[in-house]
């Protein structure tokens, strides 16, 4: 971990948010409205059924999905979405290596999105006077442990993009795919546990939503899932990075 | 010292670089010249490790650059014309970002950025993000980033592209200061020989990936032809090529294209052509077209290549 890189990325985010304050503010307001909408819309429906659990579940699913998109996007936006010609070349000149830079950027993005979503969730709860039974710190703790799996997955996609270009189309498809990932149950260990991020969501669901007792072996599955996908991502990306450098494709963006 | 030795890079079966070696010292400004596709950008990319080269070693202060990226702290680069920075930030924010990316921050860096920002004439655009700058100012913003942390070695790939005369002038001053005051070593690729002549102590000329010439500017200039006379005769029959050759004083090179019936003569001083034209007039040789023009740098390379081959 290089603190100066993390700080640099946080500062970059701040600069960009401030420069594009309109997009930033309208984005935040949109999320706030979605929360408020969820609360009011579902509340009427839920109260009829006398089941407060499903509101928590829905909000939980929404947070999971937005977090998963943010974690995946934190890696891919640098390489796939944000392909300004030549900017990428300069990023490859990072003395700690490009992968390290991307990981720091992704960490900075995830920290910011956690921070923002939590604040907005609380504002929405206060505004609608509807207090969810979700322990945010624990939930985000678990999510941050699970996020590296999506980061690794993003790195694999970026590696492919570096050499084959034109992978943007996969992006739209992936948004839906992430919704699926967030809905699956990967605990206790089953085939779904092999998919990125699934054990993490499942653990968060168990501990935070269902308030079942915490099981150590489940945490180990989450950590293993993260470590394996991140490792796979770094190895795959490094492989494609070399290939791109052989063919001189980095500057060709 | 930055040392490049035996550098080779192949695409499929075509050599982009073949056994290129040269050094760059601190405090030195060296030009990397060559026609389009001669391998200048490939050389710069190799030094930055943006491409993987096939053979050769690049060392910085004796340390090989292959195993670790840490040497990039000492290297700044402007690559591929303008535009290679974050379009959403202002020039200064970019400079701050790229300096810290290399591991440099603090008041001294900020002071340096502010000074360069003014020297480059960017102050009046300080509020605009790079996206909204003109091509030339984008180029300047990229320069600001490359120089922000005063790296020991600066690589500039066509820094004059899109810059007006005044800015090229300012750029020359800034580059000279980098070398003289900050003791930075600069490698500059360009097609602008006048620019190169004003600032560079040494030049390296590449041709089709091979090192064609290495030495100081005056040595290169003395090797290159300056003018070309193109002559098209009306009638193939009366082409007295042999007798014409004797009319050229000093160094020259004649090439004849039988298909177009054009004779090209490369020569060094303008007076050389006078005797020749006088002769044509005297002999009443009928000509369809005659042109005398100074050679562009790229054309001069071609002439140099031909004379090197002989
Ligand atoms: N990705 C690539 N695949 C195949 N050949 C390439 C690739 N990139 C560069 N080349 C070739 O390598 C050679 C050297 O190119 P390079 O860009 O270094 O030239 P240059 O001297 O910078 O030219 P210019 O003055 O136009 O900038 C050229 O023949 C070019 O076609
Ligand atoms: Mg080039």
Q: Whose CA is nearest to atom 27 of ligand 1?
A: B36
Specify whether B136 is located in the same domain as B9.
yes
- Nearest residue to B21 via CA among B36, B33, B46, B4: B4
The residue whose two tokens read 């008041």 is: B107
CA–CA dist B140, B148 (Å, integer): 12
Q: Which residue of A has its CA nearest to B105?
A: A4
Domain limit, last residue, from B191, B222, B253: B222
Residue B267's domain is classified under what CATH number? 3.30.70
Using CB atoms, pick whichever of A19, A87, A93 lies closest to residue B48. A93
Ion ligand 2: residue ranges with CB closer than 5 A: B 41
pLDDT at A223 over 90: yes
Whether residue B239 sits in one domain with residue B212: no
CATH number at residue B14: 3.40.50.300
pLDDT averaged over 10-residue windows placed end to end, chain B, 310 residues: 94 91 94 90 93 94 90 90 78 95 94 93 91 88 92 92 85 92 93 84 90 84 82 71 76 80 84 85 84 78 67
- Which pLDDT value is given to residue B15? 92
Examine the domain organization and report whether B24 and B136 are in the same domain.
Answer: yes
| Model pLDDT, residue A116 | 85
Residues B47 and B122 occupy one common structural domain? yes
Smallest Cα–Cα separation from B54: which of B13, B24, B23, B3?
B13
ipTM: 0.87
Query: How many angstroms separate the CA atoms of A8 and A156, rounded?
Result: 24
Number of folded domains that form chain B: 2
Residues 6+ apart with CB under 8 A from A204: A60, A64, A139, A142, A143, A146
Burial class from Cβ neighbours inside 10 Å (0-12, 13-18, 19+) for residue A186 reads buried
pLDDT at A119 over 90: no
Residues B78 and B164: their CA atoms lie apart, in Å, by: 18
CB B136 within 8 A of CB B167: yes
Question: How confident is the model over A154-177, as pLDDT tens digits?
Answer: 999 889 888 887 666 666 677 778
- Ligand of minimum distance to the alpha carbon of A252: 1
Decide if B108 is inside a domain: yes
> Do B169 and B248 reside in the same domain of the chain?
no
d(CA A235, CA A247) in angstroms, rounded, equals: 19
Residue B140 forms part of a structural domain: yes
Residue B23 lies in a domain: yes
Model confidence band, residue A49 (pLDDT cutoffs 50, 70, 90): low
CB A137 within 8 A of CB A42: no
Other C-beta atoms within 10 Å of B172: how many? 15
The verdict on whether omega for the bond into residue B234 sits within 30 degrees of 0, i.e. cis, is: no
**Residue finishing a domain among B170, B191, B222:** B222
Residue B8 included in any domain: yes
Instruction: Give the separation between CA A138 and CA A210, rounded to whole angstroms.
Output: 13
Q: Which of A179, A161, A220, A157 is nearest to A67 (CA)?
A: A179
Residues ≥6 apart with Cβ < 8 Å to B297:
B33, B191, B192, B193
Q: What is the pLDDT of residue B1?
A: 92
**Residue B43 falls inside a structural domain:** yes
Domain identity same for B160 and B266: no
Mean pLDDT (chain A, rounded): 84
Mutate to test the pocket of ligand 1, among B8, B10, B32, B40 (most ligand atoms within 8 A of CB): B40
The answer to whether the CB atoms of A251 and B80 lie below 8 A apart is yes
Residue range of the domain that includes B93 = 2-222
CB A59 within 8 A of CB A229: no
Q: Are residues B218 and B245 in the same domain?
A: no
| Pair B42, B15 in one domain | yes
Residues B42 and B172 in one domain: yes
Report the distance separating Cα B202 and Cα B200, nearest Å.
6
Closest residue in A to B99 (Cα) is A8
Domain boundary residue among B222, B248, B267? B222
| pLDDT tens profile A177-199 | 888 888 888 778 888 889 999 99
Evaluate whether residue B257 is within a structural domain. yes
């Amino acid at each position: 971990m290089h603190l100066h890189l993390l700080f640099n990325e946080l500062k970059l985010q701040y600069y960009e948010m401030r420069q594009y304050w309109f997009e930033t503010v309208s984005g935040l307001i949109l999320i706030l409205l979605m929360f408020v909408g969820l609360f009011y819309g579902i509340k009427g429906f839920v109260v009829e059924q006398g089941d407060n659990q499903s509101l928590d579940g829905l909000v939980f699913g929404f947070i999971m999905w937005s977090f998963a998109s943010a974690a995946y996007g934190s890696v891919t936006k640098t390489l796939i979405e944000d392909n300004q010609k030549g900017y990428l070349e300069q990023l490859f000149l990072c003395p700690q290596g490009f992968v390290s830079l991307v990981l720091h950027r992704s960490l900075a993005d995830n920290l910011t999105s956690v921070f923002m979503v939590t604040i907005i969730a609380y504002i929405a709860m206060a505004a609608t006077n509807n207090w969810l039974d979700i322990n945010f710190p624990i939930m985000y703790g678990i999510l941050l442990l699970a996020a590296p799996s999506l980061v690794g997955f993003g790195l694999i996609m970026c590696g492919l993009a570096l050499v084959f270009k034109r992978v943007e189309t996969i992006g739209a498809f992936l948004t839906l795919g992430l919704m699926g990932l967030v809905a699956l149950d990967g605990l206790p260990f089953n085939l779904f546990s092999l998919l990125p991020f699934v054990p993490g969501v499942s653990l968060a669901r168990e501990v935070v939503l269902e308030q079942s007792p915490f099981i150590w072996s489940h945490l180990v599955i989450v950590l293993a899932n993260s470590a394996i996908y991140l490792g796979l991502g770094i190895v795959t990306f490094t492989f494609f990075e070399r290939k791109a450098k052989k063919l001189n494709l980095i500057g060709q963006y | 010292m930055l040392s490049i030795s035996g550098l080779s890079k192949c695409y499929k079966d075509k050599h982009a670089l073949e056994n290129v070696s040269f050094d760059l010292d601190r405090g030195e400004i060296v030009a990397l010249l060559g026609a389009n596709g001669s391998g200048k950008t490939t050389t710069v990319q190799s030094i930055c490790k943006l491409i993987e080269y096939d053979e050769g070693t690049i060392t910085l202060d004796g340390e090989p650059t292959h195993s670790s990226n840490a040497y990039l702290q000492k290297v700044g680069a402007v690559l591929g014309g303008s535009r290679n920075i974050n379009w959403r930030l202002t020039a200064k924010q970019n400079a701050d970002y790229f300096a810290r990316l290399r591991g440099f921050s603090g008041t001294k860096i900020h002071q340096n950025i502010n000074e360069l920002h003014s020297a480059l004439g960017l102050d009046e655009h300080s509020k605009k993000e790079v996206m909204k700058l003109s091509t030339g100012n984008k180029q300047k913003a990229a320069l600001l980033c490359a120089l922000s942390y005063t790296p020991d070695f600066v690589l500039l790939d066509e820094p004059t592209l899109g810059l007006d005369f005044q800015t090229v002038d300012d750029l020359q001053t800034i580059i000279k200061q980098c070398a003289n005051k900050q003791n930075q070593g600069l490698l500059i690729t360009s097609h602008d020989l006048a620019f190169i002549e004003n600032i560079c102590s040494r030049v390296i000329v590449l041709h089709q990936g091979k090192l064609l010439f290495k030495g100081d500017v005056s040595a290169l200039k003395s090797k290159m032809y300056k003018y070309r006379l193109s002559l098209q005769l009306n009638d193939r029959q009366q082409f007295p090529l042999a007798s014409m050759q004797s009319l050229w004083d000093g160094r020259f090179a004649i090439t004849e294209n039988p298909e177009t019936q054009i004779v090209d003569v490369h020569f060094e001083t303008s007076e050389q052509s006078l005797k020749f034209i006088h002769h044509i007039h005297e002999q009443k040789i009928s000509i369809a077209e005659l042109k005398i023009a100074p050679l562009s740098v790229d054309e001069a390379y071609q002439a140099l290549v031909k004379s090197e081959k002989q």
